[in-house]
Structures are given as C-alpha cells and as structure tokens.
Amino acid sequence: MFDYATYLKRLHEGDLEINPFLGFMGIRHEMINDGYARFRMTIRPEYLQGAGLVQGGVMVAMADESIAHAIMPLLKENEGLTTVELKSNFLAPVKEGDLIAEATVFKKGKSIIIGDCLIKDDQDRPVLRCTATFLIATEKEKPTRKPKEQPVVPMETKKEDNRQTHLF
C-alpha cells in the first residue's frame, strides 16, 4: 500500500518530484491538515481554451487533487484511495491570475469518503465547486493457504458406434 505519511512529509519539505502531475501543472500546496487542503495554481497560457478562458478540466483536476490531499492525512496505514465519482459546477469564467483551491472532507465512512472543493480566483470570486466520492481501498493480509492436491481424474471413455472416443 502507498505510504501517504511519507509522501505528505516529502511534499511539505518541497520535493517537487514526489508528484509529477502537480509539478507539471504548477499546482503548489499551501496547507494540508486532517480533512483540509489548500492549493494554488498560476494560470498559464496553455490552460486556456479557444475562447481564452481556463479549460474546465484543468480546474476539475486541481479540485480532484485538492480533495485527495485533504483525505490523505485521515487514512490508516493499510488504506489507499481512488476517485470513483466527481461532480463539478462551473460558477464563473477565469482567464488570468491565480486559482486557489480549498478542499474539505465532508464525510468519511468505512469504504467511501466524500469531499468538497471550492476554487476561487485571486479576487476571491468562486469559479468552481466540486464534490467527489473516493473509494477507500484496504489492504488485507492474505491468509496462507495449503496447496490443494489435485485428484487424479481418470480419462473417461464413451462408446459411440462401436468406437471409443476420449472426452477431455
């Protein structure tokens, strides 16, 4: 299972190679606590779609990462996570400046976690709201099994028209 505690420690220490996606997108963490994460991303020209606005998927990806990071400190050593559902509301267009994502854990159950994220521009204007459901993957100890001895099965024969045919 992935070691989230070590990952978060390295991220906090400024290891930019620990998460290639965050580095590629220029997403910087500002704070991560139990059930809370805040990230910031400066809008680059490559993030703009044809109309000159930030492409929606860029903000959704930022929200997904932010919620996941809010969840990570809450996980036990034998738990992992994966996004299973995500809903986004685009609230306002944005084309320049910084995006600030604040994510919180809404509810943690035994097998799922629901998180929310609000992304604002650097003028404190909400631009995206996202809710995501994550599956908690639990690594279980595998029981040791004795190898089963395979019984010897005799080959059956069948008589058909005075011929013997082997059945497999």
pLDDT of 140: 74
In a domain, 68, yes or no: yes
Place of tokens 């997403």: 27
In a domain, 89, yes or no: yes
- Tokens in use for 131? 């809710």
Region 113-141: what's the mean pLDDT?
Answer: 95
In a domain, 168, yes or no: no
Instruction: Summarize pLDDT for 56-74 with one digit per residue, the tens.
Output: 999 999 999 999 999 999 9
> Do the Cβ atoms of 80 and 111 come closer than 8 Å?
no
Of 28, 2, 33, nearest to 16 by C-alpha is 28
Q: Per the structure, how many domains does the chain have?
A: 1
- Tokens in use for 13? 């220490």
Domain extent, residue 72, equals 4-140
CA–CA separation, 45 and 164 (whole Å): 77
Strands (E), 34-111: 36-42, 79-90, 98-108
Bridge partners of 153? none
Higher pLDDT among residues 163 and 118, named by residue: 118
In a domain, 161, yes or no: no
pLDDT of 154: 61
pTM attached to this predicted model = 0.82
In a domain, 156, yes or no: no
Q: Among 20-34, 97-111, 131-145, 154-168, where is mean pLDDT lowest?
A: 154-168
35: domain CATH number? 3.10.129.10
